Amino acid sequence: MQWGVIFLDKNLALYGEGILTTLGLLFSCLAIGAVLSLIFALALTSRSALLRAVVGSYTYVIRGTPLLIQVYLIYYGLGQLEWIQARWDDVWPWTHFKEPFFCALLAFSLNTAGYTAEMLAGAIRETSAGELEAAQAYGMNRFTTMWRIILPSAMRRTLPAYSNEVVMMLQSTRLASADPSMLDVTAAASRVYSDYYLPFEAYLFAAGIYLLMTFALIGVFKLAERHFLAYLAPRQN
């Protein structure tokens, strides 16, 4: 075992850059995905059959295809379209399709939005009748009921499932290393391996980094669940 190689300044800097890329991808895609998932969840629970069908088809495709394929389709597939190639030098937003980070971010955001939308839509549908009756008793209209009663309740109840989605997205960011120019934690380990032929040390150190980040995320969500779901805990006499 040659762990001293891993702790050389240049290799630690390599892993540090990988951590920043990984966390940047994760938090950016979660922020964009949260906004999209809210819109999609409202569409999935709307009265419009057309909206439900369109968004339902989208989430079905997203959940039914591998994330790696989605990354490849956005980064390599869209670049083959002539009308995008004719615009990606000077027309926004097509100029960004030459950037690996943007393509990975777009793929991850669309993917997590599809999964989160279905979770949130399910929580909206399961809102208790008592909460709806209380809103009606206060004279709230449909929009106010959704905004002040249904959505806050659904978001709180989605927290445990959403924490799993966030952890899965953290693990999925490793797929960004499929592009050689992207330097995430997995790509950093691959470079150390190729430079020193130490696969065990390089990838075990990367696994430890992912493990620490996962524990940190789980801890944050446990605190959030304890705060926002305290009303669901059994009452102590």
User: What is the pLDDT at residue 237?
Assistant: 54
Token pair in block for residue 187: 């790509």
User: What is the pLDDT at residue 233?
Assistant: 62
Q: Is residue 34 part of a domain?
A: yes
In order along its 237 residues, the chain shows pLDDT tens digits of 688 889 999 999 999 999 999 999 999 999 999 999 999 999 999 999 999 999 999 999 999 999 999 998 888 877 677 777 777 777 777 777 778 888 899 999 999 999 999 999 999 999 888 888 888 888 888 888 888 888 998 999 999 999 999 999 999 999 988 777 889 999 999 999 999 998 999 999 999 999 999 999 999 999 998 888 776 665 655
pTM given for the model = 0.89
Q: Which has the closest alpha carbon to 152: 216, 231, 219?
A: 231
Q: Is residue 234 part of a domain?
A: no
Question: How many distinct structural domains can be found in the chain?
Answer: 1
Whether residue 187 contacts residue 177, with contact meaning beta carbons closer than 8 Å, is answered with yes
Q: Is residue 114 part of a domain?
A: yes
User: What is the pLDDT at residue 89?
Assistant: 74
Residue 178's domain spans which residues? 3-229
Q: Is residue 235 part of a domain?
A: no
CATH value at residue 186? 1.10.3720.10
Q: Is residue 21 part of a domain?
A: yes
Q: Is residue 237 part of a domain?
A: no
Q: Is residue 69 part of a domain?
A: yes
How far apart are the C-alpha atoms of 28 and 31, rounded to whole Å? Answer: 5
Q: Is residue 51 part of a domain?
A: yes
User: What is the pLDDT at residue 12?
Assistant: 95
